[in-house]
Structure 1
Amino acid sequence: MGTMKKRFLSLLLVSGLAVSTLAACTGNTNDGANNPAANDGNAGNAGNAKTEAASFADISQNIRGNTAPTQEQMDEVNTTLNDTYLGDLYEEVIPNDYSAYPYKKDVTLDVWVPADSNIPDMNNQAVQKQIEQLTGIKVNFITPPVGQEADAFTLMISSGELPDIIIEPNRYPGGLEAGVNDGAFLDLTDLMEKHAPNYSEWRNSNEMRRKTTVTDDGRLLGFYGISPYSEWIWFGMLIKQEALDKTGMEVPNTIEEWHAFLKKCKEVGFDEPLNYGSKYGQIFTGIINGAFGVWDWTFLDSNGKVQWGPAQPKAKEYLATLQQWNKEGLLNRDWATADFNQRMASAISGKTAVMMDSPDTMWSYWKQQNNIDFVGALNPILSDGDQAATTYKNFMRTGRSAAITTQAEDVEAAMAWLDFNYSKKGWEIANYGEYGKVHLVDENGKPYFHENSYIYKDPEEQPVATTIVKYRMHSWPNIRDEHNSNPLIVAKGSYSGEIRKYWTENMDTSMAMPPITFTQEEASREAELGNQLSTLRGEYFAKIIMGELPVDAYDKFLSEAQKMGLDEFLSIHQAALERYNKR
């Protein structure tokens, strides 16, 4: 587990340790022989960025467009900080300050990160080993067993012993800001510009990135995954081409058309045509319920005010619709309990015609592994003339966040290690992996996965669903280039990106909530009310859809929600939204 650090004081005064479960990640030292910045004493000085970049010999002619690089060329790219072969691909230029590397002291950082079942040993993950070599900063990853992340996080916090860095610090009760206020995480505001020049420059190069990575009172508390653009919508309705062919029907739009299509699918042999959702996370997806304006959670109304989806006027109409669909056998029977593997097993069987999922995921499971073609459909609408809509919007915040704890023994080293991910070299490695075996660089300086890339032709014959995290970082505190570096999107013949782009360009996202934050006083109350309302919503909605309660039971649900403190819950969110808008 590595050397855990000294105990911190007063943290256990935090109210309750009901940590909500969220989702999901090495060692040699670079001697600096190929890095002109190795002995520069101005580590972390953003003003040196262009000087350091210019000191490298330009190797772009050797690398750009080269489809058969020599070992010497691969070494030049993979073991040095030379980035002269990389182009500037976005509106804002990715920074390249390497003056902190290799790090001036021998240090090993303990980094807590939730496990990924596709990464057996994070300490041997290919990208992290390469970053360790280039930065000269050793890292010991601490990963709990898969499925035990929430309990492991709670135990770590309650023990009073923290590592240097925590990935997914929002697991802390009340979130990242509460962790800083309680003395668990460091406030990095006064340190960022000096010790994280790449992150600082990148987040400040765009107003949306700046706004979504700072607190309401202007503090910088952690490192966020941030993108060069707002990523495409990633989740929606996907229909097997076979189902369209067998039914002879067009892609449905309205709820009525969807009902008719699903009934026809059942008639032609798809026993459970709609894989509706599961504990995997999509019981209430905002896809069908959104047609009724009954969004999963909070959303913005036409006046820009915060509202709660389950309390909207057409909720009973939505519930009656789904109760009927469930009664008619149009939904997968295990929708309330199925995990990811169960859903995928159902997806590739003859039972399922429609999935609510990511086209990237289904490209792997349907097309690549089982040669099943599919198309994407916009979220259903209630009536002709309505616009398909979603409460998902990417605010250039993506991937994961990271916090440095108050027990970090070398804060500068921790910041330097995280900051590398926001440099041009770090962007290349994290997104595209090792040069040669995993990616090449085209004539314009853009990395790409070539035909024989380990991503697509893994020596151990693992599928892309695994190699996507084996040879690159898919969700991390870094500059994530999802549209160009997600192997499932850019694979030869893949149309998952086209579906996601189509969804994004044709659905209204005006009701999407931005990434607001709560004050310390608000956070605990919001979490308390949110947990209660979520449990209440889950129980009532699921039982009504399954027919265990009548649709009219919704009236009792709404009454209980209001007694529980729904108005207070909304007022907390409204106050946070107003502060966000003033950032």
Structure 2
Amino acid sequence: MAEERVLTSDSFKVRRKSFNSGGLSMKNNTKRLVSLLFVLILIISTVTACSGNNAKDDTAEMDPGTNNANVTQEKNDVAFTDISGDIRGNTAPTQEQIDEVNATLNDTYLGDNYDEVIPSDYSAYPVKGDVVLDVWMPANSNIPDMNNHAVQKQVEKLTGIKVNFITPPIGQEADAFTLMISSGDLPDIIIEPGRYPGGLEAGVNDGAYLDLTDLMEKNAPNYTQWRNSDETRRKTTVTDEGRLLGFYGIAPYSEWTWFGMLIKQEALDKTGLAVPNTIDEWHTFLTKAKEVGYKAPLNYGSTYGQIFTGIINGAYGVWDWTFLDGNGKVAWGPAQPKAKEYLATMQQWNKEGLLNPDWATADFNQRMASAISGDTAVMMDSPDTMWSYWKEQSGIDFVGALNPVLNTGDKSATTYKNFKRTGTEAAITTQADNVEAAMAWLDFSYSKKGWEMINFGEYGTVHLIDDSGMPYYPENSYIYKDPEGQPVSTTLWKYRMHTWPNIRDEHHANPLITAKGSYSGEIRKYWTENMDTSMAVPPLTFTKEEASREAELGNQLSTLRGEYFAKIIMGELPVDAYDKFLKEAQSMGLDEFLSIHQAALDRYNKR
């Protein structure tokens, strides 16, 4: 029996029409009768080898752990033939096997590789009828045309939902988003809805986005099961009032720290020094690096935060922004006691020529050009990025160093902590014509099949499946051997989605980590296991009133901090100018700013 699904304005409803097939899907109000019918028909179809099941003969290779190679695995009203024996460990799949993986919802070959099992509810697919969703998302230079992205084309075929992606020109995302919101002409779905003034929750409160609380369990069973399978995932995807407002990127684990100090191995060799740890050791190393030929040894600027990166300043407890103090209360990093000491250090390093002179203005391309030159010895960046630019493209080996500490014996620390919230998020707007279809399309990303496709791309050309049921990239994968010669930093977007509202498996699916010879994952794991993250603030949500005021104060404080700290480090202002900065910050409403964050933290802790 097969089923014909009809999308209505109220819900997904199912009508069924009968025809002979071995691929069985049974659901009836009388459970006992259903079970008997299911067994009877399954036996008949097996004996008669009646199509649909792709049944093997008695000599077929049996999947380890099973007693019958023709066993079917039932997934929420959809029965699949177990094909794990054909797919797992197969390094040269046939076209028929490739089609079975890529063109069907069969996921029996995928293993359960995490502490919690990824859901496999496909009862909504394929949606019948002409369903087309408009989805707005920011542009990505590595994806020329999202409407022709290979993964999204696969998702469209399996879900039966067509999508029209709307992407503004690169660099015009902010203006395009503002214009879209102000016009009142909204698409069905918005990727990165937090761009709304005041954030996602403000968008819901203002009537731009839908509150999905009462719809999630029914229309997004995979997302619901996955977010509820772990307390951290549950807590970070719900508001203080218990509302569910969107689909968040949520991982199977807390991802490794991704940003830190990276040193060229040749710089260590030329200076003859060990990897530095304390601020004094770093000063000695950078000074020596300059003496041996590195004109601007530390690339201090960063497109991730320019002056503030939480690396050097963290040694002084002068964190980038908010953090948790020793009592678990919210504090503001730039206002900490050792701020002047930090600024004096950086002013001295800048004066001595230890920093790149364009640190305050350099964009990403300028930084990478400097990185591969002979001027730079140290980058403050991601080892994934630098494995691509240094090792893969330029043959430059490097090592990772822990965040600096002030005194020998101090514990290296960072305010970065992944709370299993990762990737990005999506919201459904109040102008969505078909809310159920929009939720079904987003929910697919949280199914086991969606997890495979979005993280690892197409089976055969991009990934294969190992003996345990885990996807992996073979050496001849399009990820590493792109027919058009693109580097991995581009193909990780071209053949898969690197950031998306989905179950993101960064440790296994990031090709910059998993590439043969790559040690970026080892560096990130080393950082994560050896740095204190107790001061990290979890994802907070603000009330409508708080959000507006927090944004106003935050922008003013950020601008103030940027101006004062940059001028002090560049020597345009004396270090004592910090005292004036702090008074201005307090007069702007620093205490109010902190009280807003503390109230949000208190509510978060009670979720």
The normalised TM-score by structure 1 is 0.92
Amino acid across the alignment from 1:274: L
Query: In the alignment, which residue of structure 2 is the partner of 1:218?
Result: 242
The answer to whether residue 484 in structure 2 is matched with residue 460 in structure 1 is: yes
Letter in 1 for 2:276: P
**What is residue 495 of structure 1 aligned with on the other side?**
519
Larger CA Rg, structure 1 vs 2: 2
1:140 maps to what in 2?
164
The answer to whether the 8 A contact 1:95-1:202 is kept is yes
| Residue 544, structure 1, aligned to residue 568, structure 2 | yes
Show structure 2 runs of 5+ residues with no match.
1-19, 30-72
Moved segments of 4+, more than 2 Å: 33-42, 49-54, 278-283
Q: Secondary structure at the match of 1:518?
A: coil
Counterpart contact for 2:313–2:342, Cα < 8 Å: yes
Question: Given the alignment of the two structures, is residue 361 of structure 1 paired with residue 385 of structure 2, yes or no?
Answer: yes
Per-residue deviation, 1:126: 1.0
Note closer, same or farther for the CA distance 1:38–1:155 as it changes in structure 2 (3 Å cut): farther
Judge conservation of contact 2:25–2:77 (CA < 8 Å) in 1: no
1:178 corresponding residue in structure 2: 202
| Equivalent position of 2:62 in the other structure | none
Equivalent residue letter for 1:370: S
Measured in 1, the distance between the counterparts of 2:305 and 2:568 equals: 19
Separation of aligned partners in 1, 2:370 and 2:293 = 14
By how many angstroms is 1:41 displaced?
A: 11
Shift of 1:105: 2.6
The 5 A counterparts of 1:303-382 are 303-382=327-406
Instruction: Specify every segment of 5 or more residues in structure 1 that has no aligned partner in the other structure, as ranges.
Output: 1-32, 43-48
User: How far is the alpha carbon of 1:106 from its aligned partner?
Assistant: 1.3
Q: Distance in 2 between matches of 1:472 and 1:311?
A: 42
What is the deviation of 1:55? 1.0
Q: 1:364, 1:441 → 2: CA distance? A: 25
Q: Are residues 454 and 38 of structure 1, via their aligned partners in 2, closer, same or farther at CA, if it must alter by over 3 Å?
A: farther
Q: Helix, strand or coil for the counterpart of 2:356? A: coil
Is the CA contact (8 Å cut-off) linking 2:302 and 2:309 kept in structure 1? no
Corresponding residue SS for 1:133: helix
Deviation, 1:124, is 0.8
Q: 1:53 to 1:492 in 2, by over 3 A?
A: farther
Q: Secondary structure at the match of 2:190?
A: strand
SS for the counterpart of 1:56 is strand
Question: Which of 460, 469, 473 is matched with 2:493 structurally?
Answer: 469
In 2, distance between residues paired with 1:449 and 1:284? 36
Secondary structure of residue in 2 paired with 1:294: coil
Of 117, 122, 134 in structure 2, the residue corresponding to residue 110 of structure 1 is: 134
* Distance change >3 Å, CA 574–CA 36, structure 1 → 2: farther
The 3-state SS of whatever aligns with 1:400 is strand
Distance 2:362 2:530 in 1: 30
Q: Percent identity between the aligned chains?
A: 82
Give, in angstroms, the shift of residue 36 of structure 1: 5.8
What is the CA distance between 1:278 and its match in structure 2? 3.5
Q: Hey, what's the Cα distance between the residues in 2 that align with 1:38 and 1:389? A: 54
User: Matched residues in 2 for 1:77 and 1:116: separation?
Assistant: 28
Q: 1:35 to 1:85 in 2, by over 3 A?
A: farther
Matched-pair contact (CA < 8 Å) for 1:226–1:396: yes
**How far off is 1:542 after superposition?**
0.6
The amino acid of 2:532's aligned partner reads D
Tell me, in whole angstroms, the C-alpha distance in 2 between the residues paired with 1:34 and 1:277: 63
2:122 to 98, 120, 136: 98
TM-superposed CA distance for 1:307, in Å, is: 0.1
Contact 2:75 2:120 in 1 (8 A): no
Q: After TM superposition, give the deviation of residue 324 of structure 1 in Å.
A: 0.5
Task: Show the counterpart of 2:110.
Answer: 86
Asked if the contact 1:50/1:96 (under 8 Å) is kept, the reply is no
1:574 aligned to 2:574? no
SS in structure 1 of the partner of residue 301 of structure 2: coil
For 1:92, give the aligned amino acid. E
Rate the CA distance shift 1:484–1:302 in 2: closer, same or farther, 3 A: same
Q: CA deviation at 1:185?
A: 0.1
Q: Which residue of 1 aligns with 2:42?
A: none
- Tell me the TM-score normalized by structure 2: 0.88
- Residue of structure 1 aligned with 2:316, choices 292, 295, 298: 292
Aligned residues: 545
Structure 2 equivalent of residue 433 of structure 1 = 457
